[in-house]
Structure 1
């Protein structure tokens, strides 16, 4: 191949196109990832927002080990009096079932995305930030047809998008939620992104938007103050490096939980293979059950089961941090030089109220049941929240680089585990690896699986539990794994997960 290729995989056509546009203009993978993140605020508004948080796993070409940029949300420094807090439940409608979420200003944790974008740009960026926001600003101002999948998500979280007049003005102009094919635009968000590129992250700290966040929180029952915004810092961490099948797998380290749990699953499967057992659906289910047991034991069993018992302290750190499992999107980019970026983002579902006239909601991470237990204010103050998000980079001995990640709540770790196994063990190409059927075992014992497993595997999965759900087709329940895979001489592959209308572009 005369010219090395680049590849992008993301959860929306416009997100992938924004990243590809920047690559074509001479930007690197990190520039492209920033452009994709900004576009996700516009095109994937239920999953991503400047009011949330996330993680970047970054591997610069020639770098021995990746770096993890943690710009996830933090709990407020001080709880407000319960009677002064706006924190209330709504029901999201998934069709066959509903799920209760808590929203209101009292559900919002300290956001970190603005600081994260500029930390990424300072460390690895090539093009000016003003250029990187251009695709998102253009889309926000000009508008575009709303995709059917995003329109479906609007109906799922309709009580949030219709909670306030400011939210209705964006998502339900005229009083009715936008439908697939309707023109969606968010000019206020376009202005915010342009402003952010001019002023930098301080805009969200003590600048006008930071001031608006603090004022809204003060006036409408939130916990956040300017002190929370000023205290926030991006954490750059060494990844959790794990060996699997000869490859080095760089995972999200504590205080996040997802990476350590993926590492345990990989270790379990490697021991399974060493015993002469095939890594099939039964092995995957066994790994998930064992991982659930380890997680339930707060890591006490992990050291004894891993060949090198170095993760016990990591699991303990993950358990000590308050977890968050909310709506998530992911972007994977590898450029023609081999720079790789895997970025996972979340805004929860949003708190229901637009910040000032700035076109975005703050997150509702404090509305996570595992954090607040259904009671307002029941969180540990001033700590970085944990997450199942696990943006991952895999480095193989022949020089192949793979960037991978997914949304999917507590299915994130099992989705990544299965796609990684499909690539590294079963040697599938990335599209087949992503499209292959998935399963998931909950801590309560419920076994869920998609169609496509053999009759023997299906029977074995049904035998695992009295509570079994055989899904009739591939479903977003099992995540949205977006994969970019690259080799300098062999070229590039990409796959966007059809479960969440993912898109991949190779150039």
Structure 2
């Protein structure tokens, strides 16, 4: 064979190899988030040469400015990553941590009852934030661009302002009395003592300065130096217990995701201190024995609700921060364990939660955000971020623009006592210094032979079940626009009810479920704010979809 022929053949083989490789990558990038400015910020960073992880920094930080009722740099997040170059999957844990002076009885009054105001409002309700440390970690270890470049859209949004919209206005109205306690909060959310109207600019100069400090110095610009001193001073002045050492000692953790399978698809999802991954794996393992797509819809809902009931029962007993408690993760996610749970399910009768062994008490008596990204290299991010309840603690630390989370309420302040979302917990989730509170955030990636789904949602205790229903809809062959729009239902062990959105069940379905022994409670409100992307690996095409319940959301493919 001549040299020329060899070179021609080599060129041909290389061309074929490149073509095959290109066919295995998405043709375009897709981003779906809860606010159009955040989605646009992510695409702007991709256009500058960044990857999905750089875009995740831009989307996270922009949401922290324009969607503060749901997330912020005073809160935390889980970023679930898939890196295409080596197939690495990892969960970046930027969950908040309890301050060093925290203790298990810190919210109990003289009668031993939980003081809900202290647990939910003001600086004592705030754990040490993890979002900024997480963004710095993403830039240092996974991104291609400097942190300063990826933060620039958020800095501009804070400095120039963004138009107030209906959802954030509703949260300001609901939290008005709490916001009025704190001058720095009043200045941003209630200028001149009034709730903003639609279209009014919400400008946050102090927050822009804080983001600029982070852009210049990385995590040290937040956890040390002038910003840290202002945060601690403001926190302490109004009854908080933060110290400079608490901020300096905050650590981002890389955690192995929870892995499971369902109908031949690989599930990659959040690990503790999220309860979501284990719960979703447990539920899908239970349901794997039935062909849900072919059965009567009422029976299908019954079986799903029974699986939900058992997974949430386990959540209340076993789950917490795995650095502090021994969680039997392998047991809880094993098919044999699910087989035992499945054996306790009757196909013709609901199981009362009271007869399942648990913590023994019923409770008396939605906010967070999510985005999904796929870039043209096949890198993926499923990220759920939070400050806990709407507008969190209501407390902005003077001089920083930082709205502090109220994540301490996600601990179990007292065994059997429900938190703001009605979830109960036991000693595994008790308050301890440095511990991370149990979360329901469930960023998830599902990989099939020919397609990939990246999805997640906010929604407090209902996050897990909303993501579950999205996965089941994906498995049924429906597109992402269907996953995010599905009418939703939920069971969380206690209270012993199936909760449903208004359009989830027909009257006939409700009657059928009640005949099986379920109590069904229909809500007029809408739940969640799901954002998802899909990649068809056969064609390279991608789709993005945002929850139609949120008019500010934007899903875009570029």
Shorter chain as denominator, the TM-score bin is: 0.7 to 0.9
Query: Within the alignment, does 1:380 sit opposite 2:403 as a pair?
Result: no
C-alpha contact 2:78 2:443 (8 A) present in aligned 1: yes
Superposed, 1:484-495 pairs within 5 Å as: 484-488=533-537, 489-495=539-545
Paired residue secondary structure (1:243): strand
Mapped pair 1:307 → 2:327: no
Please provide the CA RMSD for this pair. 3.1
Q: 2:482 aligns with which of 417, 432, 437?
A: 432
1:78 aligned to 101, 109, 114, which one?
Answer: 101
| Cα distance between partner residues in 2 of 1:78 and 1:267 | 40
The whole-number CA distance in structure 2 between the counterparts of 1:305 and 1:128 is: 38
Please name the residue that 1:323 is paired with. Answer: none
Residue of structure 1 equivalent to 2:400: 358
Q: What do residues 243-301 of structure 1 show as CA deviations (whole Å, max 9, x unaligned)?
A: 11111111111232111001111111112239985683333222222323433554899
CA change 1:17–1:297 in 2 (3 A) is: same
1:329-408 alignment to 2 at 5 Å?
329-348=369-388, 349-368=391-410, 370-371=412-413, 379-398=431-450, 400-408=451-459
Q: Sort the Cα spacing of 1:297 and 1:136 in 2 relative to 1 into closer, same or farther, 3 A.
A: closer
| Matched-pair contact (CA < 8 Å) for 1:46–1:327 | yes
Per-residue deviation, residues 59-88 of structure 1 (Å, max 9, x unmatched)? 0114334100001011111238969x9x97
Greater Rg by CA = 2
Distance 1:281 1:311, change over 3 A: closer
Distance 1:217 1:140, change over 3 A: closer
For structure 1, which runs of at least 5 residues remain unmatched after alignment?
91-99, 313-318, 320-325
Matched, 1:34 2:57: yes
> 1:108/1:295 Cα in 2 relative to 1: closer, same or farther (>3 Å)?
closer
- Native 8 Å contact 1:4 1:336 kept in 2: yes
Distance change in 2, residues 1:167/1:311 (3 Å): farther
Structure 2 residues without counterparts, runs of 5 or longer: 1-21, 320-327, 341-358, 360-365, 420-429
* Shift, 1:193, TM fit: 1.1
Q: Check the 8 A contact 1:264/1:302 in 2, yes or no.
A: no
* SS of equivalent to 2:397: coil
**8 A contact 1:354–1:361 mirrored in 2:** yes
Q: Is the 8 A contact 1:251 1:393 kept in 2?
A: yes
Measured against aligned partners, the alpha-carbon deviations of 1:168-210 in whole angstroms (never above 9, x if no partner) come to 1001101011122222221221221122110110122222111
1:25 CA displacement: 2.3
Superposed displacement of residue 212, structure 1:
1.6
SS state at 1:211 partner: helix
Matched, 1:282 2:302: yes
Alignment of 1:405-424 (within 5 A): 405-424=456-475
Alpha-carbon distance change, 498 to 160 in structure 1, aligned in 2, over 3 angstroms? farther
* Range with bigger deviation, 138-147 or 196-205: 138-147
- The alignment partner of 1:457 has SS state of helix
* Partners of 1:234 and 1:330 in 2: CA distance: 19
Residues 334 and 289 from structure 1, CA distance in 2 versus in 1: closer, same or farther, beyond 3 angstroms? same
How many residues align? The count is: 478
Deviation, 1:351, is 2.3
Give the secondary-structure state (helix, strand or coil) at the position aligned to 1:470. strand
Moved more, 15-24 or 299-308: 299-308
How much does 1:241 deviate? 0.6
Deviations 1:323-358 (A, max 9, x none): xxx731111111111110111111124323222311
